[in-house]
Amino acid sequence: MKKYSLVGLFVVILVTILVATYFYFLDIVYENKTVAEEVKTFSALKTAVEQPVAVYAEGDVLRTKNDQYDALLQELGMDAEVKIDKQKLIIQGGIHDTYSYLLLKRLLDIVKNDDVELISSCIGQGCTGDDFGFSIVVHPYVLKLPN
């Protein structure tokens, strides 16, 4: 009887670890999960002290940010590209294995801590033309200190 309890306990622990791992990877799958918080933060920056503190990036700043993300994607070794669409940057790529998920999670952490407004992030067929890809749309901004 004791042998069956140890085997049962081992199975329960294994199932718990598998479920936790599944939800960890599922964390990056939900579309637009953190967008509401990011928009609130950006709105607070724009309207602080009744003067605009943050304005959307244009021209050279946008191209510089594009080059930074392109270099970051090459450094991470991701199968992705960055495109400029008006005042937004669109990062699109493919996911091939579990390691790609980890790289995508790292990329999202970097993007969230950058001076950008996260507009949307999604994974799956609706995001790119690939069977399984990802798309991240960001709107870079520049902080302007009031005089």
- Average pLDDT over every residue of 117-138: 76
The three-state secondary structure class of 82 is: strand
**Pairwise pLDDT comparison (52 vs 113), residue with the higher score:** 113
Cα separation of 80 and 70, whole Å?
A: 9
CA 93 centroid distance within chain: 12
pLDDT value of position 13? 92
**Pairwise pLDDT comparison (54 vs 76), residue with the higher score:** 76
Residue ranges covered by each domain of the chain: 1-29, 31-143
147 pLDDT more than 60 = no
Q: What is the mean pLDDT of the chain?
A: 76
**Pairwise pLDDT comparison (99 vs 84), residue with the higher score:** 84
Q: Comparing C-alpha atoms, which of 110, 116, 113, 111 is closest to residue 141?
A: 116
